[in-house]
Structure 1
């Protein structure tokens, strides 16, 4: 009967590392010598097949443990391997000697002599567990973690000359000498002559440079191999010592295993046992599959922690799971992302197992893994299909409900959100007359248009059929902000979906009905909100379709008022109801330097509508773009007329520019065109910008302001101190002027805080070499206070209220050659 598994070429009986690999991979090893019929089994393989004690089958029954249906194909593969050297790797069923069926993974490869002839076939049988489904492959991979010195490790310190100044008990035991014989001796004196020079050179270099020292596998006196690491400190060098003799021997033994293990398709990593703080257990073995899959060679990874495979991204939850299991010395299985040498990520299904010696001391960790990148990609695809609509690529009902539930479950106060239910009008007619294919194309176009109508934080979802939902998260805690935003989005949707849809061979005109419900911090349920939005949508249907209805009557009233105002604004623009008034600006001597152009709306029924009531709506509807361009053109035309008169050529006009107008990509070109068309000196045009421009896109804002300033246009920061400005931003802005907001001027004589703010703004402007103008100056005392502290200009009722251009011309004539302060304001 053949001996238990032995191979003078690869394995030694009772090798702890052979046991290690068999434990980690759940595999039994075998060798078949075709020419002699000799068959060798490992003890693990006999146990796996539940064979009688000491039993080894003859070579002609080498595969009798296979299930009958598997014997012929496996014998064919083994015969071919013995003849041509072609390896094999497959999954098959075995029938153990206890008559139990089990799935195994069967591997074999040929070992050749120098001339190329096959000497023997070596292989492994790996248990895939009885509960595994037929054909399922064992999935494994590699993981990485950090390490540090264990408590009680040998430790010593040396002085600047490299002489021992302290050794702990572990270091004395390691060096087999007590501290009385070692203190005062040089560190390199404990090494063999062949290593002393290298140690002395590296120690002195570490002490001189202050950089850490790492030396490994040095030939020492009292042991075979010693690892030395050092960290410089003020008194010398702190040194940790470690006996690595067993690791050296392990590495030698592991080289003997390469013939059977290195060719496994699974990635195999073996590390020393050790703690998992930085840098982590060091690698002592990797197989061929590891090299081919990761792109790293053995020489690049041996002695390193597997942690480098994790790359620049973290997987905190998975790594915490691994760390927790390994700190308790128990196996763990987890999916991890690892990174190739070229940076390409790949997923591995990783099995990590501890290995113990006969005294139950942890000696190694073995990680065996399988590349599951394709499986993960399929899982992500399945995940996408579970939460997104396949036709429109929008979130589906499930994802919408998840996001809405998450929003309602948040505990911190967020303000109001809105849910918008959108239903296409007469969609069934299209499907019935033109077919479902064109109906699907329409739904795809609708989805694309809906995406353009919302902001990034909003959710557009398809519930099914022709029903869509938009979820607007809270816009802030200002009353009515969400309702106004919902109305704006609804108007965009009505406009976008009202445009004709181009279908193959057909131009389709469609509309939609929209229902909106606004929800706050009350305990709403998802079903209630959907029902409310649905009811509001049907109310819109009953109202004649192609319209928007709010579920809450109060919000409906607010939204209706906003919609009415927006409609009136459009009508006002078409009918020319806007006009400009001007308010003079004077310098410290009382001479008029220019005027600010102020937009006014004279409504036939509403009368004079205050700017603060209609400007926000004009911005929401984007009407501010055409209105702002009109104001800019009128101001330049007026400057051109003044330029023809020597007594007025010195006057400037300030124009307010909204944030939306300034951010328009063609704004700078529009200013340049207006100046070129009218021929006015650019310096006479002042653009007053609001601090809201600094809230986002700061770098783009600075770039645009720089372009305008290079054109010669003067730039003023309006209402300074009431918005987003900061000193860090202010110093980077290419400004010419700061304007003190009227809120600080109004009470500066009675409120010390307002007075301090006004003085500060004036001082800040002076330090930055900027002109400063105060708005809302109504009394001589206010003017005297501001002038006394260095204010350059003034604007307010003290001099003149906003007036028409005709009244302003009369005002200029009346005060020709006189300080304006002596004149009576009209």
Structure 2
């Protein structure tokens, strides 16, 4: 059956505009005859010739996979049970092109209401948006499809018919060429013509709808007529009275279908896009709800006013170009409500033209995507900014650095500052992470106030921040001078008290600075250099600034090589333990200290003062320390079997990292129990650096060790974090006078006074005292006179491997069996 012709005037039917703008095809299936009709639009969608008529199964074969089964079942339920359907399916054309379509169907009924088949609409849909299925279902019922019993004409402002469909030709009893140009009231009885002419002209002038029932068309039928103003004229529906009830239902759907769409619909005239642009001729209810504008406020205006003052020029240019070329276009656009609130729409604008390819209208369907855009903006923000401090994050810093050092263009001179908060972990551990976060936020705000416009402040993570200073034409200051100025500002700003809930916190920072631009450098090199300089500032006592120099890099490179060698030495069992005797006043051995030694294949003997810090940094100190502890307990178990050596103790050095390891206490308990030794034969030597941080936890751990009988000694006393208030609280047995004081004890009055004070302190606190580094009899005698009666040093014996130590003890035992005396 021939498809309805599109009208050629501005009075084109509103629903047909939306239908054609959405690329809709029609189908009808007669279940009794097994025949299937589809429209030329649907044939094109399937990639088939317009005159190609498939059977039902052949049409189904164009749908992909499970979608074919879903559609077959939907059509069956529609034809057998009267159930309408609305599906989104994937279609594959004869040429292999896949596209998503919406298929809407309803039961086809005869004059008695019996289901005789099905009919519906197939519409191609965009991946992220399409017209509502409600509209399509109503379109099936509107009479716009072939075979409808509804007659439809349009008239101009003089009442002349400008378009008539086939049904109108049948109802009015004239061919199309005899209808066009005639005034609509001329088809009715003479007695009605003047009244009809007056009624129509009033409706056209006032732009109001008209409704006339049971009119006697001359020589044809009794008709019902309804007219709707649209464009410059009016659209008229003419129906047989016998089908008036059904016609009324369909017209109700026509009035409400587009209004019920959740998507915003705007229809404009086909004016050029240049100012003032196409004018709005229709908006739906969703438009009024979302924008706050009524139809009366927007009809006749250009949609341009919806974009507000900050127009998105690229998007509007895309629309302009597409409309000038009569092409469909889809953009994301910011619109504004009547109250000025911005909202995002996914706007799909389609041209509508008649069969003569004359543009008649534009149809714009907009889906509100404001929430989606907000989510996208949040994701974008989190990709480049730190959510806690609102500062740029590591990724943003790296992008700027790549650009600054010339990896993405021309290099510029500048400075990179690495900032680390001093003792931030103490705040987190004592006051909690919530207050730590508040402190970091305040640090971020203070840092922003320390830099000039254009400089970058970023947070790397934790308590680490970076400032990037670039020399630009707007800031021609020398980078070194700029870095010195900014670093002093930062030290001063971050050194001010921080007001936290219920607490006034004082903090400082350490800053490392490296300059770039004069010599080629990579981003990784600059970050390492600034980091090294920052650690130099930490080593200098914190609250300081240090600039990177090549010597730092050489030290860092050497440390890295040493760390690699140390890992290999540990894997190859190249580390060994030597023991240095500790003696009493009479020269008899009271115990030994276990000392690590490393025989390097190329560097020879590497002293513990060189590799122990590296072991600490690489965490190798944990397994190494455990190995030394097990070896000491095993040796004590051997000596416990010999009466002449059962009294000996072994002192084992414990590093800060080892002592604070969560499993350290359990390891000591396990070693002591497994070896079966008396716990007081094991002595753990702790450094004063343990007292610098988290003192309460340190004391608690020391008490646990004391309760199991292990003896505790503070090594290198007097050179670190000595504090009498700390000392009186520590559950220790012994203090060890550092070799630095013993070395010049006879020539330096200060060293002699310090040694004497330590000995006096131990006597008053009831602690044992031992001096290390004793190399001459004069040193030993001086210490003895002050009250120190235990010693360790080369005067008595150098550190020895276990076999040589056994020989030394045997010789010592043999010597002491002869009468001797020791003068004090």
| TM-score, L = length of structure 2 | 0.41
Structure with higher Rg: it is 2
| TM-score, L = length of structure 1 | 0.41
